[in-house]
Structure 1
Amino acid sequence: MARTSPDAKGELMSNTSDSSNAGVSVPTGAISVAGAQPEIVADQSGEELKLILGEFAGPLDLLLYLIRQEQVSIYDIPVARITDEYLRYLRLMQEMDISVAGDFLVMAATLIEIKSRMLLPPDPNAAAEDEDASDPRRELVDRLLEHQKYKAAAEMLWSRATVEQAVFTRAELETDKQNPEVSAGVFDLLRVFQEILARHKEEVLLEIVRDEMTMTEMLERLRNMVLSSGELNLRVFFERARSRRELVLAFLSVLELVRTTEISLIQRETFGEIVARVSS
C-alpha cells in the first residue's frame, strides 16, 4: 500500500489536529495501518512492530462503520458529522504514532472538500433534477455502494469456501438464539480505546519514579485476566493502565493475542461492550 511522504502527511494533518492532543510515545516503534483483521508483525531486527489491520479495510470501511454508527441512510450522509468523526479517528492514529496510509489521507481531503461544497448556498436558477445531479455527495455514495457490493461478494465466496471445506456440523447451542453475539472489529476496539485515552488527557502528571511495564509484562497481564475468568471486558482492562504509555501497550497486547488466536473479540450487541474471550 502506498504511503504519503512525511511532509505531505503533516500538511494535511496540521489542518485537522487538536491542539490539546499530546503525542504518545510508542516504545515498540512505527505502526502502519492497512485493513480489517488485526495483525502485529515484527521486522527482521525484532525492534519494530507494525500494526496491520487486514487486506480489505481502508477509508471506505471506516466511512461505512461511521455511517452505521450514526444510523443514517447511505444515500443521505450527514457529511459534517461524518467528516468530523473520520478526522477524529485519523488524529487518534496520529496520536498513537501510527503511520496513516495515503488513501486514508486522500479520503480525508475528499470529505473536507465535500463538506465545504455542502456549505455553499444552492443555485436558485438550477432545476430540481440538476440539483440532484450536482449533489457533492453523489460520487462518494456511488463509491460506497460499489465497495459494499464487492465486499458482500467477497464475504459470500469466503463463506461458501468455508462451508465446502467443512466435514462436520455441530448441534445448535442453547445460547445461539437467546444471546446473539457479533464479532468485534478493529474500529470497535479503536472506539473504546479512544474513550479511555481521552480520560488520560485529563490526568495530572506527577514527577514520580516507577517501573515502566514492558510489552511482555502487559501480554502476561492480559493472558492472566482472560484465563482467570474465561472472558474479560476490555474497558476494564484498559482502565487499569496507569499511564498513556501503558494504555497504548494494553491496546497492542489485545491485537497481538487476537493475531495469535489466543483470544477472540465479541460484542453481545452492535456497538456494545467488547469482550475478550479465550479462543476455543
Structure 2
Amino acid sequence: MSSADTDSLLAGDAQAPLPEVVDHVAVARLYGEPLFALPTDLYIPPDALEIFLEAFEGPLDLLLYLIRKQNFNILDIPMAAVTRQYLSYVDEIRSRNLELAAEYLLMAAMLIEIKSRMLLPPKKTADGEEAEDPRAELVRRLLEYEQMKLAAARLAEVPQFGRDFLKAQIYVEQSLQPRFPDVALADIQQAWADILKRARLVQHHKIRREELSVREHMSMVLKRLQGRRFAPFEELFDPSKGAPVLVVTLIALLELAKENLVEITQAEAFAPIYVRLAFTPN
C-alpha cells in the first residue's frame, strides 16, 4: 500500500481513486506494484555490462582471425580491408584498456607501413630482380603463429592429469606370510624358569667335571630343528642331563638367534614358544 492510500484511509475516505493508465505497459514491478516508467534519477554506468564475443591473445591472433574468417588468401592479403577492420578493433580497445592497446598499435603502424609501400611503384634491386613483396615478412610470421596455435590446440586435446582424469589410489593390505608378535625377554625368562624347575626334580647328585662346548650344542640344536617346521621351546632341552647342559643349550640357542640362524616365535601373549630354522636347507 502506498503512502497516498494510507493518507486517504486516515482521512476517512471510503476508497482511494486508482490511477488511470491508457496504452501503457508496466516495465517492471517494484514491491508488487507496476512501474510504468523508469526513474529519472536512475544511473547505469556505461561499463556496467560488457560482452566480448571474441578474445585474442595478441595482434597476430587478431590478424589471423580476420583473414580466416573472411576466407582471404594468406599469401595475398588484401591490406586495405584487413587494415581497416584491424584499426576499428584497435579503436574499440583503446577506449577501454590503453595498456592492452599498445602492442596492437605497434602492429597497426606496421600494417599502415605495408599498405603505403604497396602503393608505391616497386623498386628493382641491384641485380635487376624485383623487390620482395612488402607482405612477405608478415605472411611468414602469420604462418608460423598459425602452426604454433594449431600445435597448442592439439596438445590441449591430449588428456591431462588433474583436468580430464584423476589418479585412482586404493590401498589393499595383503599379508603373504603370517606375522607373529615378537617374543618378550620376560617370556623367555619365564619359560627358562619352568625348565629349571622341572630339571631340579630329576637331577642326579653326581659330582664330575665336564667341559661343554657351546658350538657343539649349537650344532645339536640345528640338527633337532632340521626337517621340522616348528619345535616347542621345551623339547630342545633335556632335563635328565642336568643343569649345566641346560645352561649351555640355552646359550647355544641364544647365539643361534643372535646370528639369525633360528627364529623364536610366539602366536600371542602367554602362548607356547616355538623355535624354527630361519633358513630353508637345500
Same fold (TM over 0.5): no
Q: Which has the higher contact order (CA 8 A, sep 6+)?
A: 1
**TM-score, L = length of structure 2:** 0.36
**TM-score, L = length of structure 1:** 0.37
Could you say which structure has the larger radius of gyration? 2
Which has the larger helix fraction?
A: 1
